[in-house]
């Protein structure tokens, strides 16, 4: 889009709104690939080949079966928990940190996340199980560590989430969530963006053989946003529809491999100058490997490619990223 004359006020607005869009996109780029992949990997029962209903329990001591006979497992009763606290550190490299249309600046991004949530063990409701949740999280995004100095782009994201899941029989799950996300700069902690985001979705986990799970997730959300400028504070209002597919393979009891693909369609109500709408199509493909040192401590390495096409040529980009994240969580 070519604009021959812009007032200083319009230029300032364009810069702020564009920065907000870039940071939101970076947030989406950095998070879904990581968090979705981690969640889907954790969906695999860590004892898949071991304790399962309908099988015999392992011996507690040598020749126990000879003494008391085989002990048949009728059902498993996991310990009920109410809360989850987690910490995650992700360090990644990307060849297009600012998501520029024709390639851009290589950089590293260091993302640290701390979260706490009330997530009671799902309880029986009708023919399925219901799991409410409420949580808070804080993320720190730091750019250019070990590469170009992009520290002026450093920002934090604070999130409050209220959600629920309903687990049907047959490994289907419906979920809904309402999030409030607040973006602030790290230098002055001034808020430059926030949104209210209702989310609905459906997920299916299909076991493929003894050691693999195919996860399919369909999700939709709406972002009612404020972009930090009075000229057009709704410039980031948008809706997303996405479909994600991943195959999680249990290589051994501690190692999970996962190729994944995600497609997302995004409709923006307005472009930056409020002259029309905008439609984006994002394709993400990658592979990850997660090693579980302990049931609640894992290291994940990944490589990912994002390609976005758009009705606005200035919003197109492609980016390759690679990195790792260390996650620790406890439930009690």
Domain residue limits, the chain: 8-45+83-331
The whole-angstrom separation of Cα 15 and Cα 317 is: 18
DSSP class of residue 20 equals: H
The whole-angstrom separation of Cα 119 and Cα 111 is: 24
Contacts of 299 (CB under 8 A, 6+ apart): 290, 291, 293, 324, 325, 326, 327
The whole-angstrom separation of Cα 258 and Cα 36 is: 11
Answer yes or no: pTM beyond 0.85: no
DSSP class of residue 60 equals: S
Max mean pLDDT range (169-173, 254-258, 272-276): 254-258
Read off the pLDDT of residues 268-293 as tens digits, 9 standing for 90 and up.
988 766 788 899 999 999 999 999 99
Instruction: Report pLDDT for 41.
Output: 52
The whole-angstrom separation of Cα 182 and Cα 226 is: 10
For residue 102, the tally of other CB atoms under 10 A from its CB is 8
SS3 label, residue 93: strand
Sign of CA dihedral 304, 175, 279, 2: negative
The whole-angstrom separation of Cα 250 and Cα 254 is: 8
Q: Which of 162-176, 197-211, 221-235 has the lowest mean pLDDT?
A: 221-235
Asked if pLDDT for residue 89 goes beyond 50, the answer is yes
Read off the pLDDT of residues 93-138 as tens digits, 9 standing for 90 and up.
999 998 989 877 889 999 999 999 999 999 999 999 999 999 999 9
User: Mean pLDDT across the stretch 201-225?
Assistant: 95
Instruction: Report pLDDT for 31.
Output: 40
Instruction: Report pLDDT for 103.
Output: 75
Read off the pLDDT of residues 16-39 as tens digits, 9 standing for 90 and up.
333 334 334 444 443 434 444 445
DSSP class of residue 34 equals: I
The whole-angstrom separation of Cα 311 and Cα 320 is: 22
The whole-angstrom separation of Cα 161 and Cα 175 is: 13
Radius of gyration of the chain (CA): 22
CATH fit for domain 8-45+83-331, picks 3.40.50.2300, 2.30.110.10, 2.40.160.40, 3.40.50.10810: 2.40.160.40
- Nearest Cα to Cα of residue 296 among 259, 258, 254, 257: 254
DSSP class of residue 275 equals: S
DSSP for 158-216, written as a single string:
EEEEEEEEEE-TTSEEEEEEEEEEEEEETTT--EEEEEEEEEEEEEEEEE-SSSEEEEE
- Nearest Cα to Cα of residue 115 among 139, 99, 91, 98: 139
């Amino acid at each position: 889009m070519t604009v021959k004359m812009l007032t200083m006020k319009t230029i300032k607005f364009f810069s702020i709104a564009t920065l907000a869009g870039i940071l939101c996109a970076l947030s989406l780029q950095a998070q879904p690939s990581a968090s979705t992949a981690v969640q889907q990997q954790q969906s695999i029962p860590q004892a898949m080949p071991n304790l399962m209903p309908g099988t015999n329990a392992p011996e507690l001591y040598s020749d126990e079966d000879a003494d008391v006979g085989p002990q048949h497992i009728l059902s498993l009763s996991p310990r009920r928990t109410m809360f989850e606290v987690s910490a995650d550190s992700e360090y990644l490299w990307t060849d297009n940190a600012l998501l520029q249309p024709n390639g851009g600046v290589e950089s590293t991004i260091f993302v640290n996340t701390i979260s706490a949530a009330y997530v009671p063990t799902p309880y029986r409701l009708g023919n399925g199980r219901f799991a409410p949740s409420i949580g808070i999280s804080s993320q720190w995004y730091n750019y250019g560590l070990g590469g170009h100095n992009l520290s002026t782009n450093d920002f934090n994201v604070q999130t409050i989430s209220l959600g629920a899941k309903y687990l049907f029989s047959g490994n289907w799950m419906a979920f809904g969530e309402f999030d409030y996300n607040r973006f602030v700069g790290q230098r002055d902690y001034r808020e430059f963006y926030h949104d209210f985001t209702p989310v609905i979705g459906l997920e299916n986990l299909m076991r493929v053989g003894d050691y693999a799970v195919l996860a399919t997730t369909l999700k939709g959300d709406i972002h009612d946003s404020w972009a930090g400028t009075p000229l057009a504070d709704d410039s980031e209002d948008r809706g997303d529809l996405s479909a994600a597919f991943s195959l999680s393979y249990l290589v051994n009891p501690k190692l999970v491999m996962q190729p994944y693909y995600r497609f997302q369609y995004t409709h923006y109500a307005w472009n930056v100058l409020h002259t029309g709408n905008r439609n984006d199509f994002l394709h993400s493909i990658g592979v990850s490997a997660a090693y579980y040192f302990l049931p609640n401590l894992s290291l994940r390495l990944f490589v990912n490619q994002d390609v976005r096409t758009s009705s606005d040529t200035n919003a197109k980009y492609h980016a390759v990223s690679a990195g790792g994240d260390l996650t620790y969580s406890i439930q009690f």
